[in-house]
Each structure stands twice: as structure tokens, then as C-alpha cells.
């Protein structure tokens, strides 16, 4: 999971704005939807007026960097990369708290806060437009984002006609000679954090175990290390029987290996960088001793 060499290191851009606020800034996640959102903005305003902004969690799939390289070459816009240098697991360790679907520390610290900071340093609410890779099936997320960042003009070009579904987006990528990110072909619903997500459910993790067992084992070891420090915490929850209980990655793997059932419909969500959950439930916050 090495970061590419041909990206424009944007940390320098955190220095005071140089006078001209950027006009059209696309949050570029490494997914098909944000690529096509960017393509529409470039078509409308010209590559020279567009910034592609990528918040790297340092835990991305290797192929995301290949996709970003080919995609930005096609669009003719250099990639602006921001990162605080930590992975989600390093953030959990530093914060003394495990992330989960209700307390998404990683998305908040490694994505939302970094992006917000960059926007404030380089854009102007009066003249800049921010674009996100949300499509017409998830327009509710756009409304939530506009509410969270009130004052900014925020657009989602893939919520506009022509309306494309995910298959159309990947088909159109192949038509222009860009192979879609491999995680889609491997059956993952998104291309974030290398197929892992603290908001994922049992079905998603079972899929990760099936197609990337070594990567699953790495995350399982990380979770066990956090449990050794924090106590009975876990990324997933078992909600069978109307109660909520710990469900570790080890427990899920043991169940699957024993041939026991698990919730095959619980894929969970992601919404990384855009959606902010109802943070924070103190009952779920486990502090370091």
C-alpha cells in the first residue's frame, strides 16, 4: 500500500492562501463515482480550473493508487493529496478508542477534519464550489453534507442527468481505457481503506475473509491488540435476539469456519468523509487505563 510518487504533495497548501482561492474543488476518493463527478466538472470548467483533492488514509488498496494515477492523467489534473500520516488503526491507538459505526474517529480525523482544514486554507465560501462523488441513489447524503458545511456551495454532479448507476460508471471507465478499481471486481461496495471499514457489517467482513484472508488476518490482529489495551470493544456488534453484544473479527471468523450462520444481509455502510454519525455515545467510549 505505497503512496504514489507522481502526486502533488498538498501539505504545503496548508500554508496561508496565496491570494487566489480555488474555484472548483472535487473530493476525489479513488472511487468510480468521484471520478465521473470530477470528469463532469472538468468538462464544464476546464482542467486548469479544477482541483482534485484526495485524503489518503494510508490504508488504501494498492490498486487505488494505480486507478488514481490513470484517472488523473486522463482528466489532466494533478492529484492533490492530504494526509496526517496515520492509518485508522494508528488513530484508534493514539485516541485510546476503537472506531465503530457510531464513533467514526478515522473518518472524522483522517478525512473530514483534514478536508475542512484544507478548504478553509485554500478556498473561499463566496467563490469556491466543492464537489463530491455522491450519486442520485444517495442524494440524502448530499443534503446532510450541505447541512454540516452550511455556507459552502456543494454540488454532486452525479446526482444530475444523465443519471448513471454503478455498473454504468464502471462500464464507462472501461470504455475510456481505465480499468475500474479492483475492489469492485472483487465484490466490495466501495474502494475505501482497502476493503475494510469500521462501519462495515458481518456480510462485508465475511466477504473480506473470503477474498482477502491475509488482509482480514491483519485487521483481526489489530482488533485483538486494541482489545488487549481497551477491554471488551469491537468494530462489529452482534444484534441477534434484540440485544447488542461484542462481535470481534476473531469471533466472526470462528463462526464462519465452524459453518455457523451469520448475518449475510448486514453489509453496513461507509459514507467516508461525507457522513458524520451521531457522535459520540459515551457508553461506547473506552478509555485507556
**CB nearer ligand SF4, residue 50 or residue 91:** 91
Parallel, antiparallel or unpaired: strands 245-247 and 236-238: antiparallel
**CB nearer ligand SF4, residue 40 or residue 227:** 227
Contact 127, 222 (CB under 8 A): no
**CB nearer ligand SF4, residue 13 or residue 274:** 274
**CB nearer ligand SF4, residue 180 or residue 195:** 195
Mask for 73-112, x = binds ligand SF4 (CB under 6 A)? ---------------x---------------x-xx--xx-
Question: Cell for 120?
Answer: 478553509
Minimum separation from the CB atom of position 273 to ligand SF4 (A): 7
Three-state DSSP class for 64? helix
Residues 48-77 that bind ligand SF4 (CB under 6 A): 57
Contact 110, 88 (CB under 8 A): yes
Minimum separation from the CB atom of position 193 to ligand SF4 (A): 3
199: contact with ligand SF4 by CB under 6 A? yes
Give 98-151 as a DSSP string: --BTTB-HHIIIIIIHHHHHHHHHHB-TTT-EEE----GGGHHHHHHHHHHTTT
Minimum separation from the CB atom of position 91 to ligand SF4 (A): 8
Contact 267, 205 (CB under 8 A): no
* Helices assigned H by DSSP within the chain: 32-45, 62-75, 88-95, 105-106, 113-122, 139-148, 166-175, 182-185, 202-211, 213-230, 249-257
Q: For ligand SF4, which residue of 7, 34, 192, 248 counts as binding (CB under 6 A)?
A: 192
Count of residues that bind ligand SF4 according to CB under 6 A? 15
260: how many CB neighbours lie within 10 A of its CB? Answer: 9
Residues 250-279 that bind ligand SF4 (CB under 6 A): 270, 272
**CB nearer ligand SF4, residue 111 or residue 119:** 111
Rounded to 10 deg, the angle between the 88-95 and 213-230 helix axes is 10
Residues 108-167 that bind ligand SF4 (CB under 6 A): 110-111
226: contact with ligand SF4 by CB under 6 A? no
Minimum separation from the CB atom of position 235 to ligand SF4 (A): 9
Could you list the residues that contact ligand SF4 (CB under 6 A)? 57, 88, 104, 106-107, 110-111, 192-193, 196-199, 270, 272
Amino acid at each position: 500500500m505505497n503512496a504514489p510518487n507522481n502526486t502533488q504533495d498538498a501539505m504545503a497548501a496548508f500554508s496561508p492562501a496565496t491570494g487566489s482561492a480555488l474555484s472548483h474543488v472535487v473530493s476525489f476518493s479513488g472511487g468510480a463515482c468521484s471520478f465521473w463527478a470530477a470528469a463532469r466538472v472538468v468538462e464544464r470548467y476546464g482542467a486548469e480550473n479544477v482541483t482534485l483533492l484526495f485524503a489518503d488514509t494510508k490504508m488504501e488498496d494498492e490498486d487505488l493508487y494505480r486507478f488514481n494515477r490513470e484517472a488523473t492523467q486522463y482528466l489532466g489534473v494533478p492529484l492533490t493529496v492530504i494526509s496526517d500520516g496515520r492509518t485508522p488503526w494508528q488513530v484508534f491507538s493514539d485516541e485510546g478508542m476503537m472506531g465503530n459505526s457510531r464513533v467514526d474517529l478515522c473518518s472524522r480525523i483522517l478525512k473530514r477534519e483534514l478536508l475542512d482544514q484544507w478548504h478553509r486554507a485554500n478556498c473561499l465560501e463566496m467563490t469556491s464550489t466543492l464537489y463530491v462523488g455522491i450519486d442520485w441513489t444517495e442524494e440524502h447524503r448530499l443534503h446532510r453534507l450541505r447541512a454540516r458545511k452550511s455556507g459552502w456551495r456543494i454540488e454532486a454532479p452525479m446526482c444530475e442527468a444523465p443519471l448513471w448507476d454503478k455498473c454504468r460508471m464502471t462500464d464507462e471507465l472501461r470504455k475510456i481505457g481505465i480499468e475500474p478499481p479492483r475492489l469492485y471486481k472483487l465484490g466490495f461496495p466501495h474502494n475505501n481503506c482497502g476493503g475494510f471499514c469500521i462501519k462495515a457489517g458481518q456480510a462485508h467482513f465475511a466477504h473480506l475473509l473470503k477474498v482477502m484472508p491475509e488482509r482480514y488476518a491483519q485487521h483481526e490482529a489489530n482488533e485483538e491488540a486494541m482489545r488487549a489495551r481497551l477491554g471488551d470493544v469491537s468494530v462489529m456488534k452482534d444484534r441477534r435476539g434484540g440485544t447488542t453484544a461484542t462481535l470481534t473479527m476473531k469471533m466472526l471468523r470462528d463462526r464462519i469456519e465452524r459453518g455457523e450462520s451469520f448475518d449475510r444481509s448486514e453489509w453496513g455502510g461507509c459514507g467516508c468523509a461525507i457522513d458524520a454519525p451521531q457522535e459520540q455515545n459515551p457508553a461506547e467510549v473506552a478509555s485507556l487505563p
